[in-house]
Amino acid sequence: MSLLEVRGLTKIFGGLTAVKDVSFDVKKGEIVSLIGPNGAGKTTLFSMVTGLEKPTYGKVTFNNTDITGWEAYKVANLGLVTTFQKTKVFSSLTVEEAVLVGTHSKHKTTTLDIILRNKKFYSELERSKNKVTEILEYTKLSDKKDFMCAELSYGEQRVLEIAVAMAAEPRLLLLDEPVAGLNHTESKELMNMINDLRHSGVTILLIEHDMDLVMKISDRIVALNFGENICFGTPQEVTSNVRVIEAYLGSGEDVGGSGCY
Ligand SMILES: Nc1ncnc2c1ncn2[C@@H]1O[C@H](COP(=O)(O)OP(=O)(O)OP(=O)(O)O)[C@@H](O)[C@H]1O
Ligand SMILES: [Mg+2]
């Protein structure tokens, strides 16, 4: 069953068509990656799915709910979560506090519960703290829990972004170039973590430039070029597709797709 369905999604900025009639779906438990050269429209497509940009045309369905044009916070409440460089926002918090803030969207306490500091407030806080401990262990950040976010290394800050997103209990996690700027070992570790996350039940939509990583981790790949979906298929189908090869190498004749649509 598809968790996410994107149909005919189009974004026009003034005279520029950044995303043109893109359709694909993400099934529960899959890792689907978006690839394409710089400026191909990957981030714009993400923004239309997460509610940061309204589509010019097209439809986005998440878990059978039409979420086209919804505000970002409403989309996030449904479990469609994305990472930002939140560590910048959280620089005055400790690592543990930042992840605790990430649990906020799942709280069932009302403002009155918080003011009254009643039993419901404390049991919710306890639940959140346990979840934070679990996430910090999972992401190997436990030793750094009392560090200020700004004190973490660049690589650790990228891991923290994912830890904060995990706190919101995502059903679908959208990651825009999560390993950008990391060295080879750090990239591999983070990708392993993303893969484990998928095995724990989180569906993932990923933007990534490193083709080796994309090919290893993805179940299916959407290849964009100048805003158009030139291929949607398995890693094997995408790597052997002439339009994809042409987009990346700028050569070869377009003799049609091979196995993807
Ligand atoms: N808010 C905007 N206003 C106008 N044009 C925009 C806006 N956002 C993106 N664009 C343009 O849309 C096109 C697609 O940009 P986008 O950022 O989606 O590409 P991308 O595939 O994510 O690229 P990269 O790999 O460099 O991150 C680009 O030509 C970009 O300049
Ligand atoms: Mg981008």
Domain boundaries, the chain: 2-89+168-249, 90-151
Q: What is the pLDDT of residues 47-100, one digit of tens each?
A: 999 999 999 999 999 999 999 999 998 999 999 999 865 556 678 899 999 999
Distance CA 95, CA 104 (A): 15
> Mean of the per-residue pLDDT values for the chain?
89
Q: Which residues pair with 24 in a beta bridge?
A: 6
Q: Is 9 touching ligand 1 by the criterion CB < 6 Å?
A: no
Distance CA 232, CA 243 (A): 11
In this structure, are residues 34 and 144 in contact, taking their beta carbons and an 8 Å threshold? no
Distance CA 130, CA 19 (A): 42
Tokens of 48: 């239309």
107 alpha carbon – ligand 1 mean position (Å) = 35
Q: What is the pLDDT of residues 123-152, one digit of tens each?
A: 778 888 899 999 999 999 999 999 999 999
Residue 88 is predicted with a pLDDT of: 66
Residue recorded with tokens 């997460």: 50
Q: Is 39 touching ligand 1 by the criterion CB < 6 Å?
A: yes
3-state secondary structure of 40: coil
Enter the CATH code of domain 2-89+168-249: 3.40.50.300
Q: Whose CA is nearest to atom 3 of ligand 1?
A: 13
Roughly how many angstroms between the first and final C-alpha of the chain, as a whole number? 19
